[in-house]
Structure 1
Amino acid sequence: MKSKTIFLAFLILIAPVLISSRAHKFYVSITKVELSEEAKSVQIITKIFIDDIEATLQKRYDPNVSLDTKKETEAHVKLLEKYVLQKFKVEIDGVAYQLEYLGREYENDVVKCYLEVPGITDLNKIEIENSVLMDMFEEQQNIIHVKKGKTRKSLVLDKEHPKGMLNFD
């Protein structure tokens, strides 16, 4: 009888805590932005969890989107490119630039998307808007690390503040 009481107490008190902690997920992407003086460009690598971006593309465009699987199609890859280019914007020294999507690769449970702004030899001020996944996940945070030479600065963007500016003057 005592073991039944302990088991029942466990179910009532402890089990909900364990279940709710497993159900909670942290929504984040990490983006590295770097001025490459040699390549005369701003190079961008954004890392997004595959399951999160896949769910977003399925909801937004096509319920059959599948990334990094045998079911992935060229059309699915194009939807990823389209979405990332819609949600990521860069302004350098007051000028808005069109990003070039160079490609993507998969690494474990993350997709790395490669973007570039060609023809940039210097920057003093950079404004970045990254609203990737914010239309799907309220808690989404997009962390941006920008490097110019030996100086590194960071931003944390969220749904209320999807845009931020860094000065390198």
Structure 2
Amino acid sequence: MKKFLYSLSIFALIMMSFAAAEFYSSMTKVDYLEGSKTLKFTTKMNTSHISDAIKINPNTAGFEAEVKKYVNNNFDLYVNGSAKTLTFTGSQVNGESVWVYFEAGGVTDINSIKIKNTILLSTFPKQFNLVNIAYKGAQKTMNFQRGKEVNEVNF
């Protein structure tokens, strides 16, 4: 009986360690639209995580405006060394995920893209942000975390 209780307690401890480990991440997909010379950004974040960061309920009317402000303050883009203005085009709450859409226009040829991405890094120390960029058939991936908030790729 003691052996059974000991085994049960070890199993419970192991299971609790898995339950306590939450994963914090965002993923951004960047597509270049050559016809309109635009970089289109689609970012997916966890609804409760962004809600915690901006301190507003995702079901309230002001949520989208706060998400826009948050993204504008935590995501910077430089193309060929020049800062680009990001235009927020919308957001969508879909259950556990929030989708955020923004773009940068007037982008002609790209030699380099530099991004500063601090989305959720100040709220969640273990946050990991991934950015996948598609440009004229080439794919590049960037990752961001505390201590590595800026990344650059060349095409």
Match of 1:160 among 131, 136, 147: 147
**Gaps spanning 5+ residues in structure 1: where?**
59-64
TM-score, with length taken from structure 2: 0.94
Partner of 1:66: 57
CA–CA distance in 2 between the matches of 1:40 and 1:121?
6
Cα contact 1:88–1:131 (8 A) shared by 2: yes
Match of 1:53 among 42, 50, 53: 50
User: Shift of residue 6 of structure 1?
Assistant: 4.4
Q: Could you tell me which amino acid in structure 2 is paired with residue 164 of structure 1?
A: N
CA–CA distance in 2 between the matches of 1:130 and 1:85?
10
CA–CA distance in 2 between the matches of 1:128 and 1:33?
11
Match of 1:36 among 33, 38, 49: 33
**SS at the partner of 2:139?**
strand
Between the two proteins, the alignment pairs up a number of residues equal to: 155
CA–CA distance in 2 between the matches of 1:77 and 1:105?
8
Q: CA RMSD in A?
A: 1.2
Partner of 1:135: 122
CA–CA distance in 2 between the matches of 1:115 and 1:95?
18
User: Shift of residue 7 of structure 1?
Assistant: 4.7
Query: Larger deviation: 159-168 or 103-112?
Result: 103-112
Q: Could you tell me which amino acid in structure 1 is paired with residue 94 of structure 2?
A: E
TM-score, with length taken from structure 1: 0.87
User: Shift of residue 121 of structure 1?
Assistant: 2.3
Q: Could you tell me which amino acid in structure 2 is paired with residue 66 of structure 1?
A: N
Q: Could you tell me which amino acid in structure 2 is paired with residue 132 of structure 1?
A: I
Tell me the percent identity.
27
Cα contact 1:103–1:115 (8 A) shared by 2: yes
Query: After TM superposition, what 4+ stretches of structure 1 lie above 3 angstroms from structure 2?
Result: none
CA–CA distance in 2 between the matches of 1:7 and 1:25?
30
Match of 2:5 among 5, 8, 17: 8
User: Shift of residue 134 of structure 1?
Assistant: 0.1
